[in-house]
């Protein structure tokens, strides 16, 4: 069996990193996005050069990842932090069903819109929510719903 070439190594790494960023983290961290783009740049370099070794391809990977991060971090962060027309999406004010116990300081799970969501109680809440109880969404923080008892 032949050894893996720099082209295939960086192509596979780039696709895996971009897939994880988009499918798992849903573009919330975007660090894997930068490194994944750097890996694709390195794969492109290895393909175009026709026989670049690991040292030169890894150097291209490191430099391109750093350059992409320097160029894209600020614009993507601004875009991510920009207010949207639908603040906190349409979950706010909706009733959800508690799936796992949610206590003060201890998160649990709720069901909303056909999906299971991580949830926490609103600050100051002292009553735990048990499975099967209804709750109301008061805000959304990332991919967590902040709820209060109904």
What is the pLDDT, as a whole number, of residue 84?
56
Q: Over 50: is that where the pLDDT of 88 sits?
A: no
What is the pLDDT, as a whole number, of residue 39?
97
Q: What is the CATH number of domain 89-149?
A: 2.40.50.140
Q: Which two tokens stand for residue 142?
A: 């990332």
pLDDT class of 1 with cuts at 50, 70, 90: very low
- For helices 31-49 and 54-81, give the axis angle rounded to 10 degrees: 150
Q: Over 60: is that where the pLDDT of 86 sits?
A: no
Would you say how long the chain is, in residues?
Answer: 150
Q: Rounded CA gap, 78 and 93, in Å?
A: 27
Q: What is the mean pLDDT of residues 34-44?
A: 96
> pTM value?
0.56
Q: Rounded CA gap, 118 and 111, in Å?
A: 9
Q: What is the mean pLDDT of residues 13-21?
A: 95
What is the pLDDT, as a whole number, of residue 83?
62
Number of other residues whose CB lies within 10 A of the CB of residue 48: 9
pLDDT class of 102 with cuts at 50, 70, 90: very high
Q: Chain centroid to CA 108: how far?
A: 20
Please report, for the chain, the start and end positions of each structural domain, with discontinuous segments joined by +: 6-81, 89-149
């Amino acid at each position: 069996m032949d050894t893996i070439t720099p082209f295939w190594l960086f192509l596979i790494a780039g696709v895996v990193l971009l897939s994880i960023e988009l499918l798992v983290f849903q573009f919330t961290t975007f660090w894997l996005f930068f490194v994944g783009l750097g890996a694709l740049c390195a794969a492109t370099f290895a393909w175009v050069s026709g026989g670049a070794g690991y040292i030169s391809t890894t150097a291209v990977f490191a430099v391109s990842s750093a350059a992409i991060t320097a160029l894209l971090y600020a614009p993507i962060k601004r875009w991510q932090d920009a207010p949207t027309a639908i603040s906190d999406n349409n979950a706010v004010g909706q009733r959800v069903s508690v799936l796992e116990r949610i206590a003060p300081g201890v998160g649990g799970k709720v069901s909303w819109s056909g999906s299971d969501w991580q949830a926490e109680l609103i600050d100051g809440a002292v009553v735990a929510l048990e499975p099967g109880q209804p709750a109301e969404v008061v805000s959304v923080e990332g991919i967590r719903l902040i709820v209060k008892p109904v």
